[in-house]
Amino acid sequence: MMRVQVRLHGCSWEGFPSGTAERWVVGRQEVALPEGATLADLIRLLQVDEPLVCLVTVNGRAAGMGNTLADGDSVDLIPPITGGGRAPAGQDRASFPLASSVVALGRRF
């Protein structure tokens, strides 16, 4: 097993499903993963609602979902931060299956 440090960052975005705000902005947490695990594995393990992840960094650099993690890595999961503006509210949401969006984002980097 290896251990990585993970942080879920919060935002004032109403696309956030109700009840999860407290989970985000909780400071860094340590997560144990099998050797060779990827970012996608980590997100699955954390049960993070993937459409909420706009950007992922590993050790401060943008990374894709296929990125293999290493012991001691520091991971930041960053939601769609709009700041003073906003994405207008969509319909109420429950949970979504793993979408391809973050993988597509990963190709960007």
Partner 1 sequence: MAGYLGKILRVDLSEGRIAIEERPGEFYRSYLGGRAMAAYFLAQELAPGVDPLGPGNKLCFLTGPLTGVPFPGSGRNSVAARSPLTGRFGESQVGGYFGAELRRAGFDHLIVEGQASRPVYLWVHDEQAEIRDASALWGMHTVEAQDALRAELGDPLVRTALIGPAGEKLVRYACIMNDVNHAAGRSGMGAVMGSKRLKAIAVRGHSNVPVANPEVIRDLARKISENQPLKAERRKYGTTNVTSGLNAGGGLPTRNFQTGYFEEGEALCAEALNASLLVGVDSCYACSLRCKRVVEATSPYAIDRRFGGPEYETIAAFGSNCGVADLAAVCKANELCAAHGLDTISTGNAIAFAMECRDRGLLREQELEEVDLRFGNGEAVVQAVERIARRKGIGDLLAEGVVRAAERIGGGASAFAMAAGGQELAMHMARQKPAMGLGYAIGPAGADHGLGLHDTALTNEGPGMLPWQELGILKPRPLTELSTEKVRALIYGQYWRTVLDSASICIFVPYSRADIVALLSAATGWNVSLFELMKVGQRGIALARLFNTREGFGRDDDRLPDRCFEPLPTGAMAGEAIDREQFERMVDAYYDMMGWDPVTGQPRRGLLLELGLDWATQ
Residues that bind partner 1 (CB under 8 A): 7, 9-16, 18-22, 25, 27, 50-55, 57, 60-62, 76, 78-91, 93, 96, 99-102, 104-105, 108
Best CA proximity match to 55, nearest among 91, 4, 95, 7: 7
39 backbone dihedrals φ, ψ, rounded to 5° = -60, -40
Give least dist CB 41 to partner 1, A.
Answer: 19
Give least dist CB 108 to partner 1, A.
Answer: 4
Q: Quick one: 13 or 41, whose CB is closer to partner 1?
A: 13
